Amino acid sequence: MTLADGVQLVSTLILAAMVIGAALGVVLFDNIVYSAFTLGGVFISIAGLYILMNADFVSAAQVLIYVGAVNVLILFAIMLVNKQEVYSPVPRRWIRKLSAALVSAGLFGLLTVMLLQTEWLPNAAQTAPDSTVILIGEHFFSDYLLPFELASILLLMALVGAVVIARRESIVGEDTAIVGEQPAPVLELPERPREPVA
């Protein structure tokens, strides 16, 4: 074993321990804000594993999308909602815990079997590309151009739909119209009524 192989092995073990520890923190912390922060640690540790596998583009996308967007969105949602709710104890909760433990043990067994039966040695005939970004870009704009453009149109439609739903919850009809209210112009969305501040 060379020095580079030893460094890669030690780095893989450290990052795997970080992933497992942060994932346990996500499910074991009572405070949901701490759980969201440790979820960010899981995402960053997985990005480090991608770097060790020479997947630089996937690692950068992991940090930008999951840590920079999804995890921050979860934190904003948690902090903005700030709903205090007293939870009543669930009867026969141990059945749910037992079934979740059985499902988790089954998934762990399946992953262990897959890990042991997979041939992990690289093929000597295949050479790794210089940069995965160049290879992904070539595939995006040649083989997968149509799905790539359709995905962007789908995301644009979802964004427009979210804006419309956020602006108004329902169209005000004749039955719910207030007497003496002027009808809104055709091209103008009515504002959603706001709750009075106590």
| Residue 23 buriedness (CB in 10 A; 0-12 / 13-18 / 19+) | middle
In a domain, 110, yes or no: no
Is residue 52 within 8 A of residue 11, CB to CB? The reply is yes
Q: How many domains does the chain have?
A: 2
CB atoms under 10 Å from CB of 8, counted, come to 14
DSSP state of 29: -
Lookup: tokens for 114: 């897959």
The answer to whether residues 23 and 79 belong to one domain is yes
In a domain, 20, yes or no: yes
Query: How much is the pLDDT for 177?
Result: 47
DSSP state of 82: -
In a domain, 98, yes or no: no
The answer to whether residues 69 and 135 belong to one domain is no
In a domain, 196, yes or no: no
Query: Can you give the residue range of the structural domain that contains 157?
Result: 131-170
CATH number of the domain at 79, please.
1.20.120.1200
Lookup: tokens for 45: 């540790």
The answer to whether residues 135 and 79 belong to one domain is no
User: pTM of this prediction?
Assistant: 0.58
- Give whole-number Cα distances, 38 to 24, 96, 134, 196, in Å: 9, 24, 32, 37
In a domain, 78, yes or no: yes
Query: How much is the pLDDT for 57?
Result: 85
In a domain, 194, yes or no: no
The answer to whether residues 15 and 75 belong to one domain is yes
Weakly modelled stretches of the chain, pLDDT under 70: 82-85, 122-130, 166-198
The answer to whether residues 14 and 76 belong to one domain is yes
In a domain, 176, yes or no: no
Helices (H) and strands (E) in the chain, counts: 7, 0
Lookup: tokens for 128: 């790794």
Q: Is the dihedral of CA 94, 96, 102, 107 positive or negative?
A: negative
In a domain, 143, yes or no: yes
